[in-house]
Amino acid sequence: MANFVQQVVAGLGSGAIYAALALALVLIHRATGVINFAQGEMAMFTTYICWTLITNHGWRYWPAFVATLAFAFLLGIGIQRVVIHPVANASLLTIVIMTIGLVLIFNGLAALIWSAEIRAFPSPFPNETWQIGTVSISQQDVGTFAVVLVLVLGLWAFFQFTKIGLALRASALNPEASRLVGVRVGWMLAIGWGLAAVLGAVAGMLAAPTLFLDPNMMQATLIYAFAAAVLGGIDSPFGAVAGGILLGVGLNLLGSYVDVVGADLRLPVALLIILVVLLVRPEGLFGKPVQRRV
Amino acid sequence: MPLLELRGVEARYGPVRALDGVSLAVDEGQIVAVLGANGAGKTTTLRAVSGTVRRGGEIRFDGRPLGRRGPEAMARLGVAHVPEGRGTFGELTVEENLRLGAYTRRGKLDGDIERVSGWFPWIGERLDQPAGTLSGGEQQMLALARALMSRPKLLLLDEPSLGLAPLVTREIFRIVAELNEKEGLTVLVVEQNAAIALEVAAYAYVLEVGKVAVSGTSEELARDESVRKSYLGY
């Protein structure tokens, strides 16, 4: 039992990271119908920015963390304006290919600037455990979970209670009608990309202490995030978060109780989840059934 | 000087010419109707004004030529367009729909929500209901209420009767007429149901294949039997 609780808590840590990245994917998919394949590489790139601030410029962790979020927000807006907006009226395939191009650009750029060497990344949380009876709980996992929780609640409040949040939701639901009431839908999409990049940056910075920093560090995490988003429902923000947590905890339990799965088979399990959900219940656990408008 | 003036306005959807030189004028405080058969260019006329279709010719609003302004900019100038199919946000609540209507304005909106609830009393009691669960007539009223939230100088109303029971249509036109009378609201309304539109409008234009075929005061058009028979179908 002690081991079970321990594994669940450990799963919450990685699950929170999947949840943050999955939520980023869902934000953009809801607004534009596109999966941003570059979400993971953007997260990796912004994590390098944080690393540079800390290692090369001597910043403390939390100021560097916040500055990186600001950078990520502007990066997301910039990419939408410069790369995605010009092809906004093109076919979905064109936009998807643009995002795949961004994957290559960010990956190459990171290797060029910071080299492909694997680097250690600091964690803001002590590498210690709390002992509750026979259960030892990693402070890293709890801290990671807490940061994502605060972020998700903050975003929810922003969408629910602010004027821009309302305009963002309206733009995703009905861009034509939003324009008629004066919402600048193009800019709302850019803000959506900015927020998604912020979520990605948080996922990257929280994942880097365990995954270590290198230009390919987010690739597996992006697959897990896909699986989480598909599991929860690709258009459901709540589903993305729930899917991420479920996936993190589930994979961790599988890894510790089913010998066959181990660490090597985690990724195939995630892909299997994507496949099964798309076949059996394409709208995911928390999404609405897909309706085609004629 | 009219509040809104169209001179030789043209518009096309790809190769299809929808407007072929439409000229009309709306004075401040007036209700003007645009009538005509399906495909005559009524909806496109409104879309040309709100900037949701690319237009040629000249449109002046409030003394200013509109140029290439898009719908976001037109909303800021004080043009509220209630489109065909209403354009309400079904997944959002009634209150959120109303708040979006006032998107271009600053400051507190509680007073405005109260004001529009005065016109549609059921709205005040159902602010938290998702708009998608309203009946067709209620959605049309919500679309109208949302337009009022922006305190528009000009209301563009597209086929408010579409898909509604005659009694509900009558109620909506009664409210529009009253808004015009009491608040001086200027309205350009497009309608298939010519009889009811002529009852509330002061002036009307009848479109035929993208051009104004006849125009005149509502009394003149309603009285003229040949116009009624050949264009208005009643």
What is the domain extent for residue B112?
A: 91-152
The distance of B113 to chain A (nearest Cα, Å) reads 15
Asked if residue A289 lies in contact with residue A47, where contact means CB atoms within 8 angstroms, the answer is no
Report whether pLDDT(A43) > 80: yes
Which token pair is B109?
Answer: 């909106």
Lowest mean pLDDT among A71-75, A134-138, B33-37: A134-138
Q: How far apart are CA A10 and CA B165, in angstroms?
A: 60
Chain A residues inside the 8 Å CB shell of B104: 181-182
Sign, CA dihedral A201-A21-A148-A224, equals negative
- B83 to A180: CB separation less than 8 angstroms, yes or no: yes
Report whether pLDDT(A29) > 90: yes
What DSSP character marks residue B58? Answer: E
- B89 to A185: CB separation less than 8 angstroms, yes or no: no
Residue A6 has what pLDDT?
A: 87
Residue B187, strand partner residues:
B31, B155
CB atoms inside a 10 Å sphere around CB A58: 8
Same-domain pairing of B18 and B57: yes
Give the pLDDT band (50/70/90) at residue A292: low
- B87 to A163: CB separation less than 8 angstroms, yes or no: no
3-state secondary structure chain A: CHHHHHHHHHHHHHHHHHHHHHHHHHHHHHHHCCCCCCHHHHHHHHHHHHHHHHHCCCCCHHHHHHHHHHHHHHHHHHHHHHHHHHHCCCCHHHHHHHHHHHHHHHHHHHHHHHCCCCECCCCCCCCCEEEECCEEEEHHHHHHHHHHHHHHHHHHHHHHHCHHHHHHHHHHHCHHHHHHCCCCHHHHHHHHHHHHHHHHHHHHHHHHHHHCECCCCCHHHHHHHHHHHHHHCCCCHHHHHHHHHHHHHHHHHHHHHCCCCCCCCHHHHHHHHHHHHHHHCCCCCCCCCCCCCC
Sign, CA dihedral A166-A172-A174-A180, equals positive
Q: Is residue B178 part of a domain?
A: no
Domain boundaries, given as residue ranges, for chain A: 2-280
Give the pLDDT band (50/70/90) at residue A25: very high
- Number of helices (H), then strands (E), belonging to chain B: the values are 10, 10
ipTM of the complex: 0.91
Asked if residue A280 lies in contact with residue A229, where contact means CB atoms within 8 angstroms, the answer is no
Same-domain pairing of B143 and B207: no
Residue A259, strand partner residues:
none
Residue A264 has what pLDDT?
A: 73
Asked if B140 has any chain A CB less than 8 Å from its own CB, the reply is no
Q: How far apart are CA A229 and CA A217, in angstroms?
A: 19
Cα distance between the two ends of chain A: 53
Q: How far apart are CA A122 and CA A53, in angstroms?
A: 12
Same-domain pairing of B64 and B162: yes
Residues B129-166: pLDDT tens digits? 999 999 999 999 999 999 999 999 999 999 999 889 99
Segment (H or E) for B174: helix B166-183
Residues A238-291: pLDDT tens digits? 999 999 999 999 999 988 888 776 667 788 888 898 999 988 888 888 887 765
Q: Is residue B96 part of a domain?
A: yes
Same-domain pairing of B56 and B158: yes
Same-domain pairing of B55 and B163: yes
Q: How far apart are CA A143 and CA B124, in angstroms?
A: 44
CA distances from A179 to A186, A212, B95 (A): 9, 44, 18
Domain count, chain B: 2
Report whether pLDDT(A63) > 70: yes
pLDDT in tens, chain B (234 residues): 899 999 999 999 988 889 999 999 999 999 999 999 888 999 999 999 999 999 999 999 999 999 889 999 999 999 999 998 888 999 999 999 999 999 999 888 889 999 999 999 999 999 999 999 999 999 999 999 999 999 999 999 999 998 899 999 999 999 999 999 999 999 999 998 899 999 999 999 999 999 999 999 999 998 888 888 877 776
Residue B68 has what pLDDT?
A: 87
- B104 to A182: CB separation less than 8 angstroms, yes or no: yes
Same-domain pairing of B135 and B160: no
Residue A283 has what pLDDT?
A: 87
Which token pair is A169?
Answer: 């939701």
Give this prediction's pTM.
0.90
Q: What average pLDDT does range A38-49 have in this prediction?
A: 98
Asked if B87 has any chain A CB less than 8 Å from its own CB, the reply is yes
- Of chain A, the percentage scoring pLDDT greater than 70 comes to 97
- Nearest partner of A68 among A96, A93, A43, A31, judged by Cα: A43
Asked if B88 has any chain A CB less than 8 Å from its own CB, the reply is yes
Same-domain pairing of B147 and B158: no
Q: Is residue B23 part of a domain?
A: yes
Q: What is the CATH number of the domain that holds B62?
A: 3.40.50.300
Asked if residue A103 lies in contact with residue A111, where contact means CB atoms within 8 angstroms, the answer is no
Same-domain pairing of B106 and B72: no
Residue A294 has what pLDDT?
A: 43
Rounded to 10 degrees, the C-alpha dihedral A200/A206/A211/A214 comes to 50
Q: How far apart are CA B9 and CA B23, in angstroms?
A: 7
Q: How far apart are CA A66 and CA A50, in angstroms?
A: 9
Q: Is residue B69 part of a domain?
A: yes
Task: Closest CB to A173: pick one of B81, B91, B101.
Answer: B91
Task: Closest CB to B50: pick one of A180, A183, A184.
Answer: A180
Give the phi and the psi of residue A102 in degrees, each rounded to 5: -65, -35
* CA A224 to centroid of chain Cα atoms: 10
Segment (H or E) for B198: helix B194-200
- B100 to A184: CB separation less than 8 angstroms, yes or no: no
Domain A2-280 has CATH 1.10.3470: yes
Give the phi and the psi of residue B102 in degrees, each rounded to 5: -95, 20
Task: Closest CB to A182: pick one of B83, B88, B103.
Answer: B103
- A182 to B88: CB separation less than 8 angstroms, yes or no: no
| SS3 call for B55 | strand
Residue A74 has what pLDDT?
A: 98
- Nearest partner of A77 among A212, A187, A182, A222, judged by Cα: A187
Report whether pLDDT(A155) > 90: yes
Chain B residues inside the 8 Å CB shell of A179: 52, 70-72, 75
Residue B197, strand partner residues:
none
Task: Closest CB to B92: pick one of A170, A176, A183.
Answer: A170
Q: Is residue B226 part of a domain?
A: yes
Which residues, other chains included, contact B7 with Cβ-Cβ below 8 Å and sequence gap of 6+?
B23, B57, B58, B59, B60
Query: If you average pLDDT over every residue of chain A, what do you get?
Result: 92
The distance of A169 to chain B (nearest Cα, Å) reads 9
Task: Closest CB to B75: pick one of A170, A173, A182.
Answer: A182
Q: How far apart are CA A185 and CA A174, in angstroms?
A: 10
Q: What average pLDDT does range A32-59 have in this prediction?
A: 96
